[in-house]
Structure 1
Amino acid sequence: MNQAVLQLPRTVFGEGALAVLRKELRLLGLARPLVVTDRGIVAAGLLERLAAALDGVDHAIFDGVTENNVFGDVDAGAVAYQASACDCVLGFGGGSVLDTAKCIAVVVATGENIASFALHPEREIGCAVPIIAIPTTAGTGSDADIYAGIHPDSKSAGVGIASYQVMPKLTVLAPELTSTLPPRITAATGIDALSHCVEGFLSKDDVPFAKLIALDGLRRGVSALRTVMKDPGDLVARSEMLLASYAGGIAMSMGTGPAHALALTCSDQGFPHGILSGIGVVVTVDQVLEKRRGDKCLLCAAFGINPDDSLGDAFAGLMKEVGLPISLAALGYRSEDVPGLASAAHAHFLNGFAHYPPSRDDYERMLYSSLALVD
C-alpha cells in the first residue's frame, strides 16, 4: 500500500469562533494581516464583525475581489499588501475571496505574477506568505485545501494553482457568518460542497482518511442543505454545512474528475461554480460509477438512497429541490455547442484523477443527455 498524507490547517470551529482570532494570530506570530474581501461582504455588514474580532490588531483592507475573480484582482491586492507592509493574508468571504487571498500570498512571496503559475500548473510554487481563511459561505472548501481558482479575465475559463504552500495556516469556521446568505447562494455553494465530496471520494488517488471524511461530509451536507433552505437561521444546520464544505476541501486534496472537468470547461460564461459542478455531477457520475460498484454503494448510503438508485438522478432531484437548474440547456447551451464542449472537457487534466476517464464520445453522449433533462 502506498503511503498516504493528510495535511490540514489549524482549525477553530463553532459559533463565536471569531472571538479567538487575535489569540490565534499571536500564536502564529502574525501582527498585520491584509484582509482580502469583496464589496458584498462590506455591504452586508460582515466586515464589522471581523473588525471587532481584530480589535487592537493593526490591519489593512482590500475589498476589490470580483464575483468571478480575475488576475487583475490579485495584482491590485498585491499592491495593497506591499503598500501596507503586511505580514500575512486573511481571506474573509466566499470562494473567490479565499482563492484570491491565496494567489496574493503567492505573488507577494515569490515576486512573480499569478499568470506565471496559473497558466503553467507544472511550475512548483516555492513559497507563500501565511494565509488565514475565514469563509462566509459553505461550499468552496478553499479553507481546507491546497487549491485556488482564478480567471485570466472575465471572459476566460477558470485556471488555478495547486500547492501545499497555499494551505491556510489557520481556518476559522463561524456558522453565524453564513446565516444571512441569499437562498440561491446557500443552494449553489452547498451543492458545490457535495460535488467535492463525491468527486474527491471517486478519485484514483487513495487517501483513506480523506475518503472517510468525504463520505461523512456528503451525509451531513445532504441533510443540512435541506434544513438551511427551509430555516436559514438554523445555526446547527449552518454548522453542518460548514463541516460538509470543509470535508469537501479535504476530499479535493485527492483530486476531482470529469464533473469538474466539465464545470471548468463551462466556466467562461460567468455562471456560479456550484451550479456548474452540480450539473457536472448530474451529467457524469452514473457513468463513472458503472465500474465502481463498491464506491456506488457507499456514496448512495451517504446520500440516503438505495444502492441500485441513480446517484445522478438523486443529485438532480436535490438541486431541483433547492431551486437550482440541473441541465446545460437551462444555462443556454444548445446541441451545436456539444462537440466543442466534449473536446474541451475530454482534454482537461482533471480526467487524470478518474479511475476510468470518459472518452470524448462518452462526453458527447452525456452532454446530449444533459440537454434533454427537464428543469
Structure 2
Amino acid sequence: MMNWDYAQPVAIRFGKGRATEVNDVAASMGLHNGLLVTTPSFVRNGQAQRLVDARDGMLTTVFSQFSPNPDVTEVDACATAIKANGCEFVVALGGGSAMDLAKAAASICMGDESIAQYHGTGKTLPGEHLPLIALPTTAGTGSEVTCVSVLTDRALGKKAPIVSDGFYPSVAIVDPELTYSVPPYVTACTGMDVLSQAIEGFWSKGHQPICDACALHAAKLVFQYLPIAAAHPDDEAAYIEAREKMCEASIIAGLAFTLPKTTSSHACSFPLTNLYGIPHGEACALTLDYFARINQDAQGGRVQEFARALGFANASAMADAIYKLKASLGLRTDLSDLSLGDEQIAELVRISRHPNLYNNPVEISDDMLDAMYRSLAGIG
C-alpha cells in the first residue's frame, strides 16, 4: 500500500499558433503592464519585438541580459527591472534558462532580498509572486509546468535548484511552432533532458501512479520522435509532427518529475555542467544508461516493467537504446576528451553527492560514482 498526493496548478494551452493567446490570458486576469523575459537571440532576430508589438501595449519592458545558466545576480537584476517599471505580470519566452530566471524574479521582486538567500540555503521563499505566463521555445525542460528554478551562483561555484510553489506559472502556452527553428544539437540536448526527466521521475523514490503514467507516455514519445525532430528530414509533415510530439513529451515529462523529483543523472549533471560546460540535457544523458543498469532490478522489478512497456526486452536493452540514441544524435558518450585525472575524478564524485542523488532507488556510493566517472574518462 502507498499514500500519494497529486496537484498541478498550471493551466495548459497546447497547440500550433496559440502563442497569440498571451493577450487573452493576461486580459482574463486583469493584467495590463507586463515584462517579457527572453534570450538575447530572440531580441536579435526580432522575435521579442514581434511579440511585444502584437500585445497591443500590454508588454512594456523586455529583459534579456542573462546567461544560458542564469546567475543569481541576473535574477536580482530582472527583479529590479520589474519593480522599476511597475510590472504586474511576467511573460517568459525561451527555454529553461528564461523560465528559470523569470520564475525566480517574479517571486523575489515582491521584496527586497536577493534570490541568493534562498539558493541552496534551505530557506523557504515567501509564497507571494507575480503571475507568470510561460511560452517554451524548446521541447526540453518542462519548466513551464514545474515549481523548480535551476540557478547558478558563479561567485560560489554553485548550481542548484530552488523549489517553491510560487514558481508555478499561472498559464503555460505550448506552441510547437516556436520550436521549429531550434538547431539539431539543441533539439538533441533538450530532448535527452526530457527522457532523463521521464525515466528518473519513474524510478524516483517519490514515484506515484499519475506521474508514472506521464513518465511512460513521455519516454515513448522521445524514443520515437526525437531522432526525427533533431534531423529535420525532407518530409516536412513528419518534421512538424515530430516537433509537436516532442513538445507533448516535454510538458508531460514535466508533469512526470515535478512531484517525484529527479535522481542520479540530474545530480551528476550539475558538476558536469558547472566544471566542464556540458549542456544540461547532454550531461544528464551521459550517465542515464549507466544508472538504468544500476537501477534495473530496483523497486521489485518496476524498472524492468517500465522498459518492457516501452517495447524493450528488459532494462538492460533500454540502457543500450539510450546509449545508441545519444550516439546517433551526436551527443557525448564519454569524457575521454577532457583528459581527467584522479583529482578531477574525485571532484566530480564529491560534487555529484547532490540532494537529488538520494532520490535514486539504489543507494549510490562514492565507489560507484568513481567507477562510473573513470569508465567515462577512459582511465583505470
Say whether the fold is shared (TM-score over 0.5): yes
Inter-partner Cα distance in structure 1 for 2:111 and 2:356: 26
Cα distance per residue 1:172-222 (max 9 Å; x no partner) = 101111101111111111111111111111111133111101110110122
- Report matched runs for 1:201-220 at 5 Å: 201-220=202-221
Inter-partner Cα distance in structure 2 for 1:39 and 1:155: 25
Deviation at 1:24, TM superposition (A): 1.2
In the other structure, the counterpart of 1:246 is: 251
In the other structure, the counterpart of 1:312 is: 319
Q: Which runs of 5+ in 1 are unaligned?
A: none
TM-score w.r.t. length of structure 1 = 0.93
Moved more, 326-335 or 253-262: 326-335
Deviation at 1:155, TM superposition (A): 7.9
Cα distance per residue 1:210-244 (max 9 Å; x no partner) = 11011101101221111112226522211111111
User: Paired residue for 1:275, among 282, 301, 321?
Assistant: 282
User: Paired residue for 1:257, among 240, 257, 263?
Assistant: 263
Inter-partner Cα distance in structure 1 for 2:122 and 2:139: 27
SS in 1 for 2:62: strand
Deviation at 1:122, TM superposition (A): 4.3
In the other structure, the counterpart of 2:241 is: 236
Q: Is contact 2:339-2:377 (8 Å) kept?
A: no
Q: Is contact 1:6-1:207 (8 Å) kept?
A: no
Percent identity over the alignment is 29
Inter-partner Cα distance in structure 1 for 2:327 and 2:195: 15
User: Paired residue for 1:358, among 342, 364, 380?
Assistant: 364
Deviation at 1:129, TM superposition (A): 1.5
Task: Call closer, same or farther: CA 1:303–1:99 in 2, change over 3 Å.
Answer: same
Q: Is contact 2:191-2:222 (8 Å) kept?
A: yes
In the other structure, the counterpart of 1:372 is: 378
Equivalent AA in structure 2 for residue 357 of structure 1: E
Q: Is contact 2:338-2:377 (8 Å) kept?
A: no
- Report matched runs for 1:83-232 at 5 Å: 83-153=84-154, 156-231=157-232
Cα distance per residue 1:254-288 (max 9 Å; x no partner) = 11111111111222132211111111313322102
Inter-partner Cα distance in structure 2 for 1:188 and 1:331: 19
Deviation at 1:104, TM superposition (A): 0.5
Q: Is contact 1:4-1:208 (8 Å) kept?
A: no
Deviation at 1:336, TM superposition (A): 4.1
Inter-partner Cα distance in structure 2 for 1:22 and 1:204: 41
Inter-partner Cα distance in structure 2 for 1:23 and 1:202: 39
Task: Call closer, same or farther: CA 1:52–1:243 in 2, change over 3 Å.
Answer: farther
CA RMSD in angstroms, aligned pairs only: 2.0
Q: Is contact 2:215-2:252 (8 Å) kept?
A: yes
Deviation at 1:165, TM superposition (A): 1.0
Moved more, 124-133 or 249-258: 124-133
In the other structure, the counterpart of 1:46 is: 47
Task: Call closer, same or farther: CA 1:205–1:57 in 2, change over 3 Å.
Answer: same
Inter-partner Cα distance in structure 1 for 2:308 and 2:268: 26
SS in 2 for 1:361: helix
Inter-partner Cα distance in structure 2 for 1:237 and 1:155: 40
Inter-partner Cα distance in structure 2 for 1:37 and 1:218: 28
In the other structure, the counterpart of 1:36 is: 37
SS in 1 for 2:273: coil
Give the length in aligned residue pairs.
Answer: 372
In the other structure, the counterpart of 2:71 is: 70
Q: Which runs of 5+ in 2 are unaligned?
A: none
In the other structure, the counterpart of 1:25 is: 26
Moved more, 65-74 or 120-129: 120-129
Moved more, 276-285 or 174-183: 276-285
Q: Is contact 1:143-1:168 (8 Å) kept?
A: yes
SS in 1 for 2:158: coil
SS in 2 for 1:12: strand
User: Paired residue for 1:299, among 289, 303, 306?
Assistant: 306
TM-score w.r.t. length of structure 2 = 0.92
Inter-partner Cα distance in structure 1 for 2:53 and 2:248: 25
SS in 2 for 1:190: helix
Inter-partner Cα distance in structure 2 for 1:246 and 1:146: 13
Inter-partner Cα distance in structure 2 for 1:298 and 1:47: 45
Q: Is contact 1:35-1:60 (8 Å) kept?
A: yes
Inter-partner Cα distance in structure 2 for 1:202 and 1:302: 14
SS in 2 for 1:121: coil
Cα distance per residue 1:273-321 (max 9 Å; x no partner) = 1111111313322102232463223432454422153433221110011
